[in-house]
């Protein structure tokens, strides 16, 4: 093989691989186009916004698991049970999410625990209302247990599911240090996007149903849904 033959061989090889990579890049983006469409179809068929929230979360969980399982070079996560720095960040929830959480709370919390939670939620909601910028608040989540584990982990919000980190140290610097915003923690881009697409889909599903589509602070959203749940229970067919 002459020098020119070698140059031509390597150049052609690089060009072929480059074409394949460009094709794969477009196909990768197509995953999110398909995911967006799937969210739309599933949520449109859901029987109510709470069911839509359940379905959106289930689909997001499956998609996120698929990325971890089947897409190579996913970043390692330092997140683990009891690692609760991110549980001090301000959280907003899309339509339907708080209703699902309140149903879980009603089924799994004792009356005394629910009342204790309500008082914590009132304090957190008041702090958010009074803050010039709630996103800069660093308050312990009312749903965080004494063991630093989420007491409603199975139904935690999409934004909580979306947040990941490669470094516990970095999380503590951002949440408890001098860094002013939680955006200082590098995210797994695909994992984060999967959950943001679910959030956008729930907002759209609410609009299509003629419901308020704005996200709410978690504490206030839970208080509103707890009041609605209690009212429905008090006035329902089984009410005394």
Alpha helices in the chain (DSSP H): 3-45, 49-70, 97-108, 111-130, 158-162, 168-176, 189-208, 218-235
Q: 239 pLDDT exceeds 70?
A: no
Q: Is 109 exposed, middle or buried (0-12, 13-18, 19+ CB in 10 A)?
A: middle
CB distance 1 to 9 below 8 Å: yes
Angle CA(48)–CA(96)–CA(134) in degrees, nearest 5? 160
Q: Give the whole-angstrom CA distance, residue 207 versus residue 215.
A: 12
Q: 104 pLDDT exceeds 70?
A: yes
CB distance 222 to 102 below 8 Å: yes
Beta bridge partners of 92: 217
pLDDT at 18: 86
Across 107-122, average pLDDT: 98
Q: Give the whole-angstrom CA distance, residue 223 versus residue 226.
A: 5
User: What is each CA distance from 157 to 11, 74, 152, 216, in whole angstroms?
Assistant: 50, 23, 9, 12
Task: Convert the pLDDT of each residue in 1-59 to its tens digit.
Answer: 788 777 788 888 888 888 888 888 888 899 999 999 999 999 999 999 999 999 999 99
| Lookup: tokens for 213 | 């589509």
Neighbours of 204 (CB within 10 A): 19
| Lookup: tokens for 143 | 């749903």
| Lookup: tokens for 142 | 């009312």
Task: Convert the pLDDT of each residue in 121-145 to its tens digit.
Answer: 999 999 999 999 999 999 999 999 9
Q: Give the whole-angstrom CA distance, residue 53 versus residue 96.
A: 5
Q: Give the whole-angstrom CA distance, residue 192 versus residue 88.
A: 19
pLDDT at 143: 98
Q: In the structure, what pLDDT confidence band is assigned to residue 179 with cuts at 50, 70 and 90?
A: low
Look over the chain and give the mean of its residue pLDDT values, rounded to a whole number.
92
Beta bridge partners of 144: 150
Percent of the chain with pLDDT over 90: 72
pLDDT at 181: 56
pTM of the model: 0.88
Q: Three-state DSSP class for 162? A: helix
Q: In the structure, what pLDDT confidence band is assigned to residue 111 with cuts at 50, 70 and 90?
A: very high
Q: 240 pLDDT exceeds 60?
A: no
Q: In the structure, what pLDDT confidence band is assigned to residue 230 with cuts at 50, 70 and 90?
A: very high
Strand (E) or helix (H) holding 217: strand 216-217
pLDDT at 211: 98
CB distance 224 to 98 below 8 Å: yes
Across 104-113, average pLDDT: 97
Q: 201 pLDDT exceeds 90?
A: yes
């Amino acid at each position: 093989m002459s020098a020119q033959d070698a140059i031509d061989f390597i150049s052609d090889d690089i060009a072929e691989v480059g074409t394949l990579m460009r094709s794969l890049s477009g196909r990768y983006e197509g995953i999110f186009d398909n995911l967006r469409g799937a969210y739309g179809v599933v949520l449109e068929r859901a029987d109510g916004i709470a069911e839509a929230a359940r379905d959106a979360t289930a689909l997001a969980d499956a998609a996120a698991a698929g990325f971890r399982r089947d897409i190579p070079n996913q970043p390692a996560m330092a997140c683990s049970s009891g690692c609760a720095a991110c549980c001090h960040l301000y959280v907003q929830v899309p339509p339907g999410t708080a209703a699902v959480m309140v149903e879980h709370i009603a089924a799994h919390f004792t009356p005394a625990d629910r009342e204790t939670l309500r008082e914590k939620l009132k304090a957190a909601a008041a702090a958010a209302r009074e803050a010039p910028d709630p996103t800069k608040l660093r308050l312990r989540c009312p749903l965080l247990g004494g063991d630093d584990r989420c007491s409603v982990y199975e139904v935690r919000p999409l934004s909580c599911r979306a947040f990941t980190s490669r470094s516990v140290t970095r999380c503590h610097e951002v949440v408890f240090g001098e860094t002013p915003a939680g955006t200082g923690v590098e995210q797994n881009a695909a994992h984060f996007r999967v959950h943001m697409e679910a959030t956008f889909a729930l907002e759209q599903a609410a609009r299509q149903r003629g419901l308020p589509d704005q996200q709410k602070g978690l504490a206030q959203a839970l208080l509103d849904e707890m009041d609605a749940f209690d009212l429905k229970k008090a006035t329902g067919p089984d009410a005394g």
